[in-house]
Structure 1
């Protein structure tokens, strides 16, 4: 499809979802191992604009509703997984005619130039309406929300960064603040230079160097690192 984008087909399924016992095991993983019980009544759903929405990890029931709402594409920002939540999602998308795309992002790390440019290409290639999700719909989805608003909707970065805010449950005081630091690094650099975000990414941005500077000034926060346990 697109460079580093992979369709949902690479791993061997460890679950026989036609077997009631295996299906129950997959649901236990979704509900308890992946904290799906916390998402049962709260999808953290938000409309980003232009036919894109964002939310947390959807259950098969939620995917059925998304299909009724007209969703054509789901972007899974967690990537492929041997866990039950992933295989239930994959089957539900197939059953309801939704294209599932795995595009792995990170909540506590910098991203490669290729991943950022690949996100831009992805947004131009998928069928809409679309929804993208991570586990909580807060951090990785926020990162991609900024990129979507900038690349697809034309928002300047200083406006698009609203996608990374407490409104979406994003907490910048933990290591998840690396995402904010990345965009702020561009904004600080561009204050006295006429340079676009993508030009900065391609010619100035050094993922390892940005990460090192973030960790130098980061003092640690038990809220996100111990309590929320961000992926």
Structure 2
């Protein structure tokens, strides 16, 4: 019997909406509100101030961008989702330009262990951006949580236990899913320092440079990973 393999359909590249046209702008708004679940964020921004100069939130609408500029004095927005051709990004970029906010695309991931390059780049980012600043992902829970912990460690130099509180249910972070990989990453650093007094912990970036094995942390997490994937499917998170 001859088996015929079906060819995988190639995804058609998403073409960005043209905001200069009425139809394009309407399409961008539909993508933001319905495809990206903007309707769920209409009344809840998951907005938190984590220092006098830094805020965290979920994906802002154009209206929220203006509000952040006028009421919070935000000068920089860190988009942790990365650049996109989708409506939510196009409208945010346009709103930032109009409000005089610098939009920086700095992509990180919620279901993977961070690379060494990204960790060192985060430190440089925090040292060079204009404040007050706000960082966001889609829900403001996981990628924003990761970067908030790094901000606390690398810019504010707060104790580790205080920094990792940025990854908690308070901000809607759920560790009982693949997003728990972020918790595993920071826990690996804590485990390395077990038995040492807090003041004797190895500096975080020294550990990253000399001891951190990204793939091993990921493999260990996935080996023990159980039913958490169902949580991700139920919440339909990015």
Q: CA deviation at 1:222?
A: 4.8
Matched, 1:97 2:104: no
- Corresponding residue for residue 226 of structure 1: 233
In the TM superposition, 1:74-223 aligns within 5 A as 74-192=77-195, 194-223=201-230
CA contact (8 A) 1:78 1:134 kept: yes
Mind listing any 5+ residue stretches in structure 2 that lack a counterpart?
1-13
What per-residue deviation string (whole Å, max 9, x for no partner) do you get for residues 15-68 of structure 1? 221211110100000000000000001000000103100000000010010110
Following the alignment from structure 2 to structure 1, what is the Cα–Cα distance between the partners of residues 177 and 91?
30
Report the count of equivalent residues.
220
CA contact (8 A) 1:138 1:170 kept: yes
Following the alignment from structure 1 to structure 2, what is the Cα–Cα distance between the partners of residues 142 and 223?
21
Matched, 1:61 2:63: yes
What per-residue deviation string (whole Å, max 9, x for no partner) do you get for residues 117-160 of structure 1? 11011001000000000000000000000000111111122220
CA contact (8 A) 1:50 1:153 kept: no
What per-residue deviation string (whole Å, max 9, x for no partner) do you get for residues 201-225 of structure 1? 1100011111000101110325532
**Normalising by structure 2, what TM-score?**
0.89
User: What's the secondary structure of 2:50's corresponding residue?
Assistant: strand
Following the alignment from structure 1 to structure 2, what is the Cα–Cα distance between the partners of residues 96 and 26?
19
CA contact (8 A) 2:178 2:229 kept: no
CA contact (8 A) 1:175 1:220 kept: no
Q: CA deviation at 1:13?
A: 7.5
Following the alignment from structure 1 to structure 2, what is the Cα–Cα distance between the partners of residues 182 and 50?
27
Could you say if the C-alpha distance between residues 219 and 175 of structure 1 is closer, same or farther in structure 2, counting changes exceeding 3 Å?
A: same
Moved over 3 A (4+): none
- Corresponding residue for residue 3 of structure 1: none
Q: CA deviation at 1:83?
A: 0.7
CA contact (8 A) 1:157 1:197 kept: no
Following the alignment from structure 2 to structure 1, what is the Cα–Cα distance between the partners of residues 179 and 62?
28
- Corresponding residue for residue 39 of structure 1: 41
